[in-house]
Amino acid sequence: MKQAIGPYDPCPCGSRQKFKFCCYKPGKGSARSATATQPENPATSPKRKMSEMISEMGAGFLWVGDTIEERQNRLNAACSAWNIACASPDVRQYQLEKYKEGYLRSNPSTSPADLANIIKDMETLVERKLELFPDDKRQIVSAKVVRVGETYRIEVASATLQ
């Protein structure tokens, strides 16, 4: 069901900004009388912030680390899983294998049990991305954990590849 929104309601694109300062396009009326229709499913909106989508996909995984470096490493893994999930099923398996090889090159002392857990986490993140955002094919090109006071947020840049 579609519902009318006003200029001071949250924007339906998912940006968390007021509609007036985000997607509102002035017409003949004033901003006070502006309305728009909200999409049926804002979770699939192409304008949804990638940082929100990664946070949702990586819930329970991203914020496990005690330090900002550990959290950054987890964010990097979640972003790699996102990009892997955007590939076709046969390419996904190849990319997971390449991820595993790269991980071992960078962390040669990783035990086989730890490596198995890391790959299982990656597979879980890939599955979660496909569950939550199957049609979003944007590729993540950079991501950063930023400390804001006592909390953290993530910043993500993405690109649509053709």
pLDDT single digits (tens) 30-57:
343 344 444 445 444 456 899 999 999 9
The pLDDT of residue 124 is above 70: yes
pLDDT of 39: 44
Residue-range domain boundaries for the chain: 1-41, 50-159
Q: What is the pLDDT of residues 57-82, one digit of tens each?
A: 998 898 888 899 999 999 999 999 99
Residue whose token pair is 């229709």: 37
Provide the 3-class DSSP secondary structure of residue 90.
Answer: helix
Count CB neighbours of 78 within 10 A. Answer: 26
